[in-house]
Amino acid sequence: MTTFNVPTRDEVSSNNQAIFDNFKKEIGFVPNIYAAAAYSDSALDNYLPFEGAKSSLSNKEKEVVNIITSQLNDCKYCQAAHTVIGKSNGFTDKQILELRQGFFSSDKKFDALVKTTKQMNLNKGKVDDETLKTFFKAGYTKGTLVDIILAIKAIGVTNYLHNLTQVEIDFPLAPEL
């Protein structure tokens, strides 16, 4: 099996060194998944603006998408990271476990979001009519559907990157389901 080490600041391009410096200044460390992206001289420059782009989804709604997508893509790194980020956005441990299972018992709007996102992931973007009716009834729009697709693809990048590289997870591990 090919081993992917976590690149250090000295092992990446000068452009990525500046990005590493910004991570250290902003959050105190460079998450290993972003360090792994620095194998490419341009990936972080391209990915970070996409990941943080303006969206109709709130931060909490983005976490719904991130959590269920990471679960479906079997990305242990992103399950761990987004458990931490989900908690910082107000989700409880129980709620995060529910989201990872594809439902949300305490809020109909988040339940519609997670179920729609799950179907999009499993069915290559397709969602059945009943799920879409519930989604729209919950107050979401066609524009929200487009933003969900973008959010799925953004988290999919780090899901695939970790599934390929298996770099060390530098967040507390998410509980197994």
**Domains along the chain with CATH numbers:** 9-51 (no CATH), 59-165 (1.20.1290.10)
Mean residue pLDDT across the chain: 97
Q: What is the CA radius of gyration of the chain?
A: 17
Q: How many CA atoms lie within 13 A of 83 on its CB side?
A: 21
Which residue matches tokens 């761990």? 80
What digits encode the pLDDT tens for the residues 82-92?
Answer: 999 999 999 99
Residue 3 is encoded by which pair of tokens? Answer: 């081993």
Give residues with Cβ within 8 angstroms of 73, minimum separation 6: 121, 156, 159, 160, 163
What digits encode the pLDDT tens for the residues 49-72?
Answer: 999 999 999 999 999 999 999 999
Quick one: pLDDT at residue 2? 87
pTM for the model stands at: 0.97
Concatenate the DSSP letters of all residues of the chain into one string: --------GGGS-HHHHHHHHHHHHHHSS--HHHHHHTTSSSHHHHHHHHHT---SS-HHHHHHHHHHHHHHTT-HHHHHHHHHHHHHTT--HHHHHHHHHT--TT-HHHHHHHHHHHHHHHTTT---HHHHHHHHHTT--HHHHHHHHHHHHHHHHHHHHHHHH-PPP-SPPPPP-
Total residues found in the chain within this entry: 177
What digits encode the pLDDT tens for the residues 92-140?
Answer: 999 999 999 999 999 999 999 999 999 999 999 999 999 999 999 999 9
